[in-house]
A and B are shown apart, each in its own frame.
Chain A
Amino acid sequence: MKPSYLLLSALLMFAATLAPRFIPFVFIRKKIASPFWKSFLYYLPYAVLAALTFPYVFYSTGNFFAALTATAAALIMSFFELNMASVAALSFLVAFGLGFLF
C-alpha cells in the first residue's frame, strides 16, 4: 500500500467520522417539542448499538458456539449491571476458553 494512498485514506476517514459528530451539535440549536421525535432521539443510539451487535457478535471470534456462549454470558452480566470493562474481559475469557472445546 502506497503511503499517499494511506495518507489520503486517513484524511477521508477522519472527515467521514468528524462530519456526523459535529454538524448537528454545532449548527442545530433549536429545541424540538414533539414527544415522538424526542423519544425517537432518545431510543435511537441504543437501537444502533443493538443492530451493530446482532448477529455480528456471533461471528466475532471465528468460533460460533464459543461466541454464542460468551454473548449469553455478556447479556447476563450486563443484566445485573456489572461494569463494561468486566463484562468485556470475562466474556473474552469465556470465548477464549470455549474455543478449545468446540
Chain B
Amino acid sequence: MKTGNDFLAGLRKGIPVAIAYLAVSFTFGLAAKRGNFPFWFTSLISATNLTSAGQFTGIELLRFGASYLELALAVFIINLRYALMSFSLSQQVRIRILPMKRFAMSLFLTDEVFALASEKGESITPAYYFGLATLPYVGWQIGTIAGYLSGSLFPARVIAAAGIAIYCMYIAIFLPPLKKNAGIALAVLSAAAFSCAFYYIPYLNKIPMGFRVIISALAATLIAAALFPKKEESKTESEERERKEGKV
C-alpha cells in the first residue's frame, strides 16, 4: 500500500510540471517542424532525451550539419548539470535501491523532477520518484507531437513568443527557494551575473555557450558554498544522533 500511496503522491506533485512540459515540448515540436526534421526523428528525440536545452541545441546544430563530435560534445556539456543532480540525488536517498532500478530512475531525471524530488529529501522512494516523473514524461511526448503536427497552423508571432516558456520554468524553480536561503540566493544571483558577463564582454563571448554556462554556474556555486556552508543537519541525522546518544 505504502508504495502505491507514494506513487500517487508523486503523480499529483508532477501535474504542474506536466502542464509546463506540454507547453515547452510544444515549442520544441514547432521548432523541429520549422527546421524540416522528419516526424519520426522529432518524436524519437523527445522520447529518448526528455530535456529542453539539450534537445533545442541538438536540432539547432543539426540544421547546420554539425559533425557527430560537435553534436555529442555540445549536448553532453549542456547536460553535465544532470551529473551534479544525479550525484546529489545519490547523496540524498537513504533506502537501498538496486542498480537496475537506479538506472531506470536516471532516465527520467530532469531539472524539475530533481527539484521536486529534492524537496522530499532523504525520505524519497523510487515509487514517489516514478510517480513524479510519469506525467511530465507523457506531457513531453504529447506536447512534442502536437507542436510538430500543428506547426503550420500558428502565426509566427505566437511561435516566437512561446520561446520564453522554458526560461519561465527555470525562473519558477530557482526563485522561490532564493527567498529562504542565503546560499541559494548568492549562487543564483552570481551565476546570472557571471553568465551575463560571459555573454556581453568581448572575447569572453567567444567561448561556446555550453562552456559559458558551466563555468558561470561552477564559479557561483563555489563562492556560495564557501561563504554559506550548510550548517543545519537534517531531521533524520539529528534523530539518529540522539538515538546513538541514548536520548530516544
Q: By the criterion CB–CB under 8 Å, are A52 and B62 in contact?
A: no
Q: By the criterion CB–CB under 8 Å, are A46 and B174 in contact?
A: yes
Q: Which of B4-12, B144-152, B163-171, B239-247 contacts A (4 or more CB under 8 A)?
A: B163-171
Question: Hey, which chain B residues are within 8 Å of A89, CB to CB?
Answer: 23
Give CA–CA (A62, B157) in the complex, Å: 9
Q: Interface residues of B: mostly helix, strand, loop or mixed? A: helix
Task: Give, as a whole number of angstroms, the nearest-CB distance from B157 to chain A.
Answer: 6
**Contact A39 B175, CB 8 Å, known A48-B81, A92-B23:** no
Question: Hey, which chain A residues are within 8 Å of B228, CB to CB?
Answer: 39
Which A residues, 1 to 55, have Cβ-Cβ distances below 8 Å to chain B? 1, 3, 6-10, 12-26, 28-29, 31-32, 35-55
Confirm or deny: B16 has a beta carbon within 8 angstroms of a beta carbon on chain A: yes
Q: By the criterion CB–CB under 8 Å, are A28 and B172 in contact?
A: no
Question: Hey, which chain A residues are within 8 Å of B103, CB to CB?
Answer: 22, 26
Q: Count residues on chain A whose CB falls below 8 Å from chain B CBs.
A: 76
Q: Interface residues of A: mostly helix, strand, loop or mixed? A: helix
Question: Of all chain A residues, which has the CB nearest B24?
Answer: A88
Q: By the criterion CB–CB under 8 Å, are B48 and A78 in contact?
A: no
Q: By the criterion CB–CB under 8 Å, are B187 and A13 in contact?
A: no
**Contact A35 B164, CB 8 Å, known A25-B86, A49-B174:** no
Which A residues, 48 to 102, have Cβ-Cβ distances below 8 Å to chain B? 48-57, 60-63, 66-67, 70-71, 74-75, 77-79, 81-85, 87-89, 91-92, 95-96, 99-100
Question: Hey, which chain B residues are within 8 Å of A48, CB to CB?
Answer: 81, 84, 111, 191, 213-214, 217
Question: Hey, which chain B residues are within 8 Å of A39, CB to CB?
Answer: 183, 224-225, 228-230
Give CA–CA (A41, B78) in the complex, Å: 17
Question: Hey, which chain A residues are within 8 Å of B24, CB to CB?
Answer: 88
Task: Give, as a whole number of angstroms, the nearest-CB distance from B78 to chain A.
Answer: 8
Which single member of B58, B162, B184, B225 contacts A92 (CB below 8 Å)? B162
13 A–B pairs (Cβ distance < 8 Å), ordered by A: A1-B37, A1-B62, A13-B71, A22-B103, A23-B83, A24-B84, A28-B87, A39-B224, A39-B225, A42-B184, A43-B220, A48-B213, A52-B195
